[in-house]
Every structure is written in C-alpha cells, then in structure tokens.
Structure 1
C-alpha cells in the first residue's frame, strides 16, 4: 500500500514537472500571412478584411495590419474611424494600444503599418523598444494578416519576404494576370524557395478560376521552376458590392452568400496551417531586411 502510494506520488510529481516545463515554454509567434497583388483594383483588401473577420468568428485571435501605402482603406471597409496609425507610435505620440482597433467579427486592426519602414530611421534604443513591443504582439495572436500595397515596390516586397505565407490575389483580367505573374517572378528572384498561394477573385464560376490558376501555374513552372498553390476563388457576387457600400465585411453582413462560402473554405485551409512551425518572428525578420 505504501509502495503504491509512493509510486503514485512519483508519477504525479513527474507529471507536474512536465506541465510546469510546458507552462514555462514561450508561446510560438503568430504565423504571418501577407495578402498582396500585382496591381490595384483586384479586391485584395476586401479579401484580407473578410478573411480576418471569418477567422475571428471561428474563435481565432487575428491581427490585421493595413500596410497598403497611400491606399490604406481596411478601416473604411469595416466602418471604423481611424485617428491614429503606427506612424504616431514610431514618433512617440501614441502608444501601441492607442492604435489597435476592434474590427467586425472580433479581429484587431492596426492601421498605417506601411509607416513601419520608418523604424530604420529610429535610434538603436528606439528601434529595439519598438521591435520589442511589436514582437510581444506576435505572442498574443494566432495569425497576423498583412494587407500589403499592390505592385513590386520595396515597401511591398519587404513585408512579403518576411511573411511565413504569401497569398497573391488576382482576377481573370489579362492585365491582372500579367501583373500577378510579374509580382511572383520578383518574389522568387528575391526569396529562394518562395512559397505562395493564388486566389482568383471576381470569377464567373469555379471553371474560370481553374483556367486562370492553371495558366499562371504553367508559366511559373516553365519559367521560374516553382509551383503555385491554388487558394481557391471568390465569385462575382452582388452581396460583395452591397457590403462594400454598407462598409461591412460580407462574411458578417451576408454569411450565407456564395462569396462568403468560398472565403469560409479558405479560412479553414489557413486555420489548419496555423499550428505549423515557423522560422522566426516576423518583425525581427522585417527589421533585418530593412537593415540590409
């Protein structure tokens, strides 16, 4: 009896030791998804906002960072009134919590992230402090979605290169397809082993989406030696434009519409990848690229 009690006590102590070690283990930094496009007007920001809203309604902790320089309008699509941005934090006029806004569905929005490039102009102490604040954010969220600008400017590419995953949004229009390929080519030249997914927006049906994806994937394999991942599509849907006019995500205002169904599928795909290992914090990688 005494031996049994001693054995049970040892098992409990070993279990407590394991649990304590796990409690001390630092949380993994959030996975970072860059949502980008080769040209403007393809619905990139709408995709980013609705993905954030859908994942948040699934109970995930989502941070959406609007890094679209000059065209930042995620707040408009969410009917939010932005008074401060990350630029105010960099200059010391606001704290990080001052610029964080609750978005529809429960995600958090930080506007004005394009100003993060100004971190390179800070003193070493200020830069370290800012990176520490931003790195702490990575431990508080399951996924960080970066809505980048369109095109291949250095501002866009710095965010894309530091992200864990890249989602390229395009449409069936020939110019959009050409610019999407141009963006992918630039990413592959700058980032060895780059992986990216392609989402075809504003399609008539899934067959059209498949044809567009196959066309881009073919030239990527033939001329770049890389394969694209098919992230699916979002169809032309009157509920989407109606939601934009109401300034709300369509996954919130019209959760049963066709477009919401396709975004839901993509959200579940991303959610399955959320726990995969990653190779370091986003903000530290971003800062290292800025430093050259």
Structure 2
C-alpha cells in the first residue's frame, strides 16, 4: 500500500468517525485526476497566464479542469480572470467553508480555487493542517479530470515543496537571461536540497515569449546542456508560446487571451500544448495518485526526519 492510499484510508476513517459520508470515488472507479504543476524560476515570465489559458484550452478539449492558485498571499489567477471569489482556500482551512463554497466558476467551464490575497496563514501550515486540507480537497479527484496548480515564482520553500511533491511539472522560461539563470537555479536547488526523482517527476519546459519555434528549441537546448552536465534531474521540451501583443491586451482587460483572442498566435500555441498533454498521458505521469498523492508527498517532504 503506497502513502497516498494510506492517506486516503486515514481520510475515510476520519470521515466515518465524524459521522460524515465517505466518498465513493476513485478507489472504486479507478478515477484519479491528473495533477499538473506550473512553475518558474522568477516572476513576470507568464506562468499564471499559461496556467489559466492552458486550463481553458484543456476544457475545450473536453476535460473538467480546476485551477488551484497555490501562490499563497497573492491572487494572480483571479486578477487575470477578472473574477473576485467570494471565498478562498483560507476559508476552507480556517473558517468552516466547504469545497463547493470555494470553487469559483471561470470562463469555458473551468473552476478555480483562490489562495487568497494577503493571506499569510497558508504560507506555513503544519502537518495536521495539511492533512485536514487534503481531506477537504479529496473530492477534487472526483470533480476534475485535470487539476492545474499555479505555484508562486522563485525558490521559496512552498514552491520547492509543491514542485517536488508533483509528478508532472511544467517549467515556464523566457529568453531573458535572468529567466534562464533563475530557472536553472530552481532546478539546481531541487536537485540539491529536495527529494526529487526523474523516475517519479517529469519536468517539461515551456518556452514563453519567443520569436520563433527555432528560438524556443535553442532556449531549451542551452538550458538542458547545463542541466545534463551538472544535475541529475531530467527536463523535456514541451513546446513554445510566441511573443504576442494580444497577451498584454488581455491582461489589461483581465480576460484570458484564449477567450478574447481565440485565433491569436498565443491561443493557438497553448491549444497545441493542451493537445500534446492530452494525447501524451504516460503511465508514469498518471501514477501521480491525484491530489491526495500530491499532498501525501507534501507531508512526507515537509516533515520527514
């Protein structure tokens, strides 16, 4: 029995002890959501924009998508969607709200859960609180086919923990030298400090704001040469999103460019990324054990002796 299965059994037992109905979900049906974590070495590279638009394009491909804004203390996803949720993750954790209360409906049938703006309680949650949060988020595996986790940017403890706990990671990089060096710094820190394994974690690079596909491949090759030489983590190339003036226009209007400008080069590029992801579901990636597996990994990493 793996750790995620043990955690599910704990959750079921806790629910039964509290007189709550247990959830007849993936343990009987085999249904486990695919969890995709989107991250970057620095801010300002378009990570949250890609998370939102990737979610929309995957929804158009028939997937039930929920985006979890794990950039605790900020509210990038809700700002980009131009939607202010009534409740957020802190309300689930500390104020007695249920999962259905904090899932806000977004465009194209996506749902999103806000980490909240200026909420510091979530930045340093303890083991019992993570277990409680896992119990509450358990139903997401039943409600979604894909859960996209939009992490914070940079090399903070919370970002490192989320990335290391994930089985499928999308790393957003731009051609800017600072983006490249910070992306490598993130990978180097993961390689040195965290319990990350290429057998369990797949890291796929997205080249954002490039002038051509050739530039994107060169960007990947440049970064990957250093990664292969000095690190043991493995990185694959997923694809590219071109420089597009419609992206900044959509940000100003607080609407995703996939909905405002569906025929733009950026929208078409993210649709291609969504198609690649949807058509390339490897067993290694899908063995992630859903959201419960991710949080069980968080517990293991955060509190291992």
Aligned to 2:303: 291
Contact 2:36 2:168 in 1 (8 A): yes
Instruction: Name which of 57, 62, 66 aligns with 2:60.
Output: 57
Aligned to 2:265: 258
Contact 2:152 2:159 in 1 (8 A): yes
* 1:282 paired to 2:294: yes
Say if 1:92 and 1:228 are closer, same or farther in 2 by CA, change over 3 A. same
Instruction: Name which of 35, 40, 46 aligns with 2:38.
Output: 35
List aligned pairs for 1:1-292, cutoff 5 A: 25-112=28-115, 116=122, 119-120=125-126, 122=128, 128-189=131-192, 190=194, 191-193=196-198, 194-274=201-281, 276=283, 277-280=286-289, 281-292=293-304
Give per-residue Cα distances to partners, 1:151-207, cap 9 Å, x unaligned. 111111111112120111011000110000111122233212243111111111112
CA apart distance, 1:233: 1.1
Name the SS for the 1:70 alignment partner: coil
Q: Distance in 1 between matches of 2:231 and 2:127?
A: 35
Give per-residue Cα distances to partners, 1:238-271, cap 9 Å, x unaligned. 1111111121111111111111111011101111
For the aligned residue pairs, the C-alpha RMSD in angstroms reads: 2.1
Say if 1:285 and 1:273 are closer, same or farther in 2 by CA, change over 3 A. farther
* Unaligned residue ranges in structure 2 (runs of 5+): 1-25
Contact 1:27 1:139 in 2 (8 A): no
Q: Distance in 2 between matches of 1:219 and 1:238?
A: 31
Contact 2:244 2:266 in 1 (8 A): yes
CA apart distance, 1:128: 4.7
Contact 2:169 2:203 in 1 (8 A): yes
CA apart distance, 1:43: 0.6
* Unaligned residue ranges in structure 1 (runs of 5+): 1-22
Q: Distance in 2 between matches of 1:128 and 1:39?
A: 29
Name the SS for the 2:237 alignment partner: strand
Aligned to 1:3: none
Aligned to 1:5: none
Greater CA radius of gyration, 1 or 2?
Answer: 1
Contact 1:143 1:274 in 2 (8 A): no
Q: Distance in 1 between matches of 2:72 and 2:123?
A: 11
Say if 1:289 and 1:204 are closer, same or farther in 2 by CA, change over 3 A. same
Give per-residue Cα distances to partners, 1:37-78, cap 9 Å, x unaligned. 000010100000000111112110111000113332101111
Moved more, 186-195 or 229-238: 186-195
Q: TM-score, normalised by structure 1?
A: 0.84
